[in-house]
Amino acid sequence: MNGVTRLATGAVLGGAALLALLALTLGFGGGAIAQEPESMVLQLSPSRDSGVGGTATLTEAGDGVRVELNMRGLPDAGVEHINHFHTGGTCTADRAGNVAPATIPLEAIVANEDGTGSGTTTLEDATLNSLFDPGKDRYIALHSEVEEGEGVPSVISCADVVEAAGGGAVSTTLPESGGPLPAMLLAAATVLALGAAGGVVRLVRRGS
Ligand SMILES: [Cu+2]
Task: Look at the chain and report how many structural domains it folds into.
Answer: 2
pLDDT digits (tens, 9 = 90+) for 78-128: 999 999 999 999 999 999 999 999 999 999 999 999 999 999 999 998 999
Give the domain CATH number at 106: 2.60.40.200
The verdict on residue 175 lying in a domain is: no
pLDDT digits (tens, 9 = 90+) for 125-148: 899 999 999 999 999 999 999 998
Residue 121 to residue 137: CA distance in whole angstroms? 20
Residue 107 to residue 86: CA distance in whole angstroms? 14
Does residue 98 sit in the same domain as residue 148? yes
Q: Which residues of 193-205 are buried (b: 16+ CB within 10 A; e: fewer)?
A: beeebeebbeebe
Does residue 25 sit in the same domain as residue 43? no
| 180, 181, 183, 187 alpha-carbon torsion, rounded to 10° | -10
Residue 142 C-alpha to ligand 1 middle, in angstroms?
6
Residue 205 C-alpha to ligand 1 middle, in angstroms?
63
The verdict on residue 24 lying in a domain is: yes
Residue 181 C-alpha to ligand 1 middle, in angstroms?
32
Helices 182-207/3-25 angle, 10° precision: 170
Does residue 46 sit in the same domain as residue 15? no
Which range of residues forms the domain containing residue 124?
39-160
